[in-house]
C-alpha cells in the first residue's frame, strides 16, 4: 500500500496548475504594449498587463512573499508559493521621485495574502509629478509559464482577476 498511496500523492510531470492573479490597484487595464516605456512595452522584463490607477494603494496580487521593495517605494516584487514572480512598477520614471508620494506598509521578505496593502500612494501628487501613472504588472520569470490569459476592463484592487496563468 505504501507505494500506491505515495503514487497517488505525486502529480504527473505534464500536469498544470492554474493561478489567478488579481489587480494590485483599482483602475482600467491596458495592454502592456501600450506602456510608454520600451522596457515594459517590448516585454524585456516579462509579460503581463498594465493598469491606469484610480485609487491610492497597491495590494498583493497573489499570496506569496514580498521579495523586494526598493528604497524609492515605487515598485515591489512578489513570489508565490508556486514560483510565479511578479513585478508591480507604479508609473514610469517614478524612481526619480525618490520615494515622494509613496508610503510602505509591508516590508521585504514578509508573507502576504492576496489583497493585503503593500504600498499607499498619493495619486494626485503622482499625476502631477510622474512621467506617467500607468502601472505595469509583469511576470518576470516567463520561462515557468505555460499559458497566460489577460483580462480587460475596469478592475478593483485585491478582487478582480487580471491574469490567469498556468505553470
Active site residues: 89
Distance CA 66, CA 85 (A): 10
Distance CA 85, CA 80 (A): 7
Task: Write out the H or E segment, with its range, that includes residue 136.
Answer: strand 135-139
Task: Write out the H or E segment, with its range, that includes residue 135.
Answer: strand 135-139
Amino acid at each position: 500500500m505504501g507505494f500506491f498511496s505515495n503514487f497517488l500523492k505525486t502529480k504527473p510531470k505534464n500536469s498544470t496548475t492554474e493561478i489567478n492573479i488579481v489587480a494590485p490597484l483599482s483602475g482600467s487595464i491596458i495592454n502592456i504594449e501600450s506602456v510608454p516605456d520600451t522596457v515594459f512595452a517590448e516585454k524585456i522584463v516579462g509579460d503581463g498587463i498594465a493598469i491606469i490607477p484610480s485609487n491610492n494603494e497597491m495590494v498583493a496580487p497573489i499570496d506569496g512573499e514580498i521579495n523586494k521593495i526598493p528604497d524609492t517605494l515605487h515598485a515591489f516584487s512578489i513570489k508565490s508559493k508556486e514560483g510565479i514572480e511578479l513585478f508591480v512598477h507604479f508609473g514610469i520614471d517614478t524612481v526619480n521621485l525618490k520615494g515622494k508620494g509613496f508610503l510602505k506598509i509591508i516590508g521585504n521578505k514578509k508573507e502576504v495574502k492576496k489583497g493585503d496593502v503593500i504600498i499607499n500612494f498619493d495619486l494626485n501628487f503622482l499625476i502631477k509629478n510622474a512621467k506617467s501613472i500607468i502601472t505595469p504588472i509583469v511576470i518576470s520569470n516567463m520561462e515557468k509559464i505555460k499559458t497566460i490569459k489577460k483580462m480587460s476592463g475596469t478592475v478593483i484592487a485585491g478582487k478582480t482577476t487580471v491574469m490567469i496563468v498556468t505553470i
